[in-house]
Amino acid sequence: MNTDFSQPFNPEAYAPSGKADMRFRRYVEKGMPWFYGIVFPVILGFCLYTYEKETLFRIQELNLFLPDSTFYHTLSAYPGGTLQWAACFLTQFFYYPAVGTALLIAVWVCICFVMRSAFR
């Protein structure tokens, strides 16, 4: 019984058949970061916008963001306060769920590419 799951069970079936197959694999390998970095967040954002519009608007209603320095200094006194301030700022854009979702997708795409370049 073959219990080595790091190798395929039938290696001959998975062997490349020629140059065309190798070119296709190269295109797939080059395209995967684009898929995970752009297409996947867009699909997730579209699903979020389609199914959770009311929830996004409700989150915006429950959030408080004040555009003054007192609010920032109050939050920055705690660990992670600047991150919470930025989250409060970005959450206010869910008043229009399409705009907030588009901004969220842009943040996700930026995070994907920063992580890709940082861990390269």
Q: What is the pLDDT along the chain (120 residues), one digit of tens a residue?
A: 556 666 656 655 555 556 666 777 777 777 777 777 888 889 999 999 999 999 989 989 988 888 888 999 999 899 999 999 999 999 999 999 999 999 999 999 999 889 888 988
| pLDDT the model gives residue 36 | 77
| pLDDT the model gives residue 20 | 62
Q: What is the identity of the amino acid at 83?
A: L
Task: Give the domain ranges of the chain.
Answer: 19-118
**How far, in Å, CA of 30 to CA of 35, rounded?**
10
| pLDDT the model gives residue 100 | 92
The residues near 115 (Cβ < 8 Å, ≥ 6 apart) are none
